Amino acid sequence: MVLDIDAAVKYLKENAEPRSMGRCATYVRKALQAGGLDMSSWPVSAKDYGRFLKPLGLRSICLKNYLPTKGDIVIIQPYLGGGVHGHIAMYDGTQWISDFKQRDMWGGPGYRTNQPAYEVYRR
């Protein structure tokens, strides 16, 4: 199974909401499905997508001197006082998109302030 990054990014761009709907995992899952991945047994929480993506051919990359590449998927862990599900988004080549077009990778002020642990996955 190979991820068609262009198809996945196209799905996100066409379906992004004007603001966060709190459904980042659903939107990214549907984008990955549009990109050709088998998403028949997906995790509920965004924070759990890492172990799900590895068997689908995506790998966690080193974050030292990290520069985002089209198709990168960030999985951000929850932070104290925030939601329990964490956050997930995909980079479209110019910006991060989850269920909305984000201003940065963090996707919200709580994540931006707390900067919890995260991993980036790439095809």
Structural domain total, the chain: 1
Burial (CB count <10 Å: 0-12, 13-18, 19+), residue 74: buried
Q: Give me the chain's average pLDDT, please.
A: 96
Q: Can you give the CATH number for the domain in which 90 is found?
A: 3.90.1720.10
Q: Identify which of 64, 12, 55 has the alpha carbon closest to the alpha carbon of residue 33.
A: 12
pLDDT for 40 equals 87
Q: Give pLDDT tens digits for 22-69.
A: 999 999 999 999 999 999 889 999 999 999 999 999 999 999 999 999
Q: In what order do the strands lie in the sheet with 87-91?
A: 59-60, 118-122, 73-76, 87-91, 96-97
Q: Is the pLDDT of residue 1 over 90?
A: no
Domain that includes residue 112, residue range: 5-122
